[in-house]
Structure 1
């Protein structure tokens, strides 16, 4: 029994791309944390405490999301089934009384119905 052929679509994301995605995600979340800290200094009331809470929770969630491994991405690796080509009509299905070019061979002659105007490029 032969082994299944590996598919390129089932290959994992390259390590460099994965690290760049995780780093970008972490930096975005830490930038939001800095904005929360600055906002907590500038505003007053309940908004300040909401920003402080966000600044406290964001590092934990950022680390969890950034360390959530390479197994997140899944791809559909099912084979593509090509559409069936339309059926061709048989030469015998052509009506014998159909008009034809004057230099065309008779419908029952050998080679009738094949390439008529062929130009090589």
Structure 2
């Protein structure tokens, strides 16, 4: 069996586009981190600690998001139901079978059944 040809809508995005998207996402998150660090120096009170916490957590989340990569494939996890095998039918007694003793048993003699190869 040949595999189906993927349509243009199911083709993955090019590697260069994927890398540019991940680089841009990482750059934006690190820019937000710089703003948080500058903001933590400039403000006082609970907001300072919120900005420090954001500056500490952002590198971890940025790396996780940037390394998420291209593996967004969806796999079919539905159970496979095997097709029923076609029924084999026996033909009437062939020459050389025990039911017709007038023809001797030899190579190629015996019962013949219908068989279809897949």
Structure 2 length-normalised TM:
0.58
Check 1:46–1:17 CA distance in 2 against 1; reply closer, same or farther (3 A cut): same
CA distance in 2, matches of 1:48, 1:63: 24
CA distance in 1, matches of 2:45, 2:31: 23
Check 1:47–1:71 CA distance in 2 against 1; reply closer, same or farther (3 A cut): same
- Determine the structure 2 residue equivalent to 1:64: 64
1:31 CA drift (Å):
0.2
Structure 2 unmatched ranges of 5 or more: 75-118
Q: Which runs of at least 4 in structure 1 moved beyond 4 Å after TM superposition?
A: none
Tell me the alpha carbon deviations over residues 71-97 of structure 1, each in whole angstroms, 9 at most, x when there is no partner.
3387xxxxxxxxxxxxxxxxxxxxxxx
Alignment of 1:1-121 (within 5 A): 1-72=1-72
1:69 CA drift (Å):
1.4
1:10 CA drift (Å):
1.6
- Determine the structure 2 residue equivalent to 1:111: none
CA RMSD of aligned residues (A): 1.7
Tell me the alpha carbon deviations over residues 29-62 of structure 1, each in whole angstroms, 9 at most, x when there is no partner.
0000000000000000000000000000000000
Structure 1 unmatched ranges of 5 or more: 75-121
CA distance in 1, matches of 2:69, 2:26: 13
Check 1:49–1:14 CA distance in 2 against 1; reply closer, same or farther (3 A cut): same
CA distance in 2, matches of 1:51, 1:17: 32
CA distance in 2, matches of 1:15, 1:36: 32
